[in-house]
């Protein structure tokens, strides 16, 4: 029994990165190093200007480069963009962290972004716990 030259595969041959044929029926695209990978995805520019074959929209990141993320940008504590799609709230130091929780007053009068009700504890302070205070006696 001799080996047959034809394998009877009904697929088209494409050139791979090393110039050989793999029998894959996918379109070739240019990769970052200029070679072909056989992926059928659109190319987008990455942070270093090369192509990755990702089919995502580009947005500006904190350093002004593109990451290929498809999320909306919001301002962070340092005024830069993080690509997070959350609403901004004021924190204890007056900066924005991108959390979508309500702010409540804590024991020292600052905001903790906890979404719990405040109750008075045995020493008269607020802990942010959603429990009923218990009188433990003297």
User: pLDDT digits over 53-69, tens only?
Assistant: 444 444 555 555 555 44
Domain boundary among 40, 55, 70: 55
63 within domain boundaries: no
The answer to whether 107 and 125 are in contact (CB under 8 A) is: yes
pLDDT value at position 6?
52
74 within domain boundaries: no
132 within domain boundaries: yes
5 within domain boundaries: no
- Judged against a pLDDT cut of 50, whether residue 32 lies above it is answered with yes
Residue 138 domain boundaries: 101-138
Average pLDDT, the chain: 53
31 within domain boundaries: yes
The answer to whether 124 and 116 are in contact (CB under 8 A) is: no
36 within domain boundaries: yes
The pTM for the full model equals 0.11
4 within domain boundaries: no
The answer to whether 107 and 126 are in contact (CB under 8 A) is: yes
- Judged against a pLDDT cut of 60, whether residue 24 lies above it is answered with no
User: pLDDT digits over 77-94, tens only?
Assistant: 555 555 444 444 555 555
106 within domain boundaries: yes
Cβ neighbours around 133 below 10 Å, total: 12
pLDDT value at position 13?
55
The answer to whether 113 and 89 are in contact (CB under 8 A) is: yes
Total number of domains constituting the chain: 2
């Amino acid at each position: 029994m001799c080996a047959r030259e034809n394998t009877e595969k009904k697929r088209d041959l494409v050139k791979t990165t090393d110039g050989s044929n793999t029998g894959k029926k996918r379109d070739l695209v240019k990769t970052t190093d200029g070679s072909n990978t056989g992926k059928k995805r659109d190319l987008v520019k990455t942070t270093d200007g090369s192509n990755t074959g990702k089919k995502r929209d580009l947005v500006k990141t904190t350093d002004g480069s593109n990451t290929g993320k498809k999320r909306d940008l919001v301002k962070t504590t340092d005024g830069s963009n993080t690509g997070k799609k959350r609403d901004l709230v004021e924190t204890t130091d007056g900066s924005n962290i991108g959390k979508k929780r309500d702010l409540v007053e804590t024991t020292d009068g600052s905001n903790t972004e906890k979404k719990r009700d405040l109750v008075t504890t045995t020493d008269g302070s607020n802990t942010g716990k959603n429990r009923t205070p218990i009188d433990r006696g003297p």
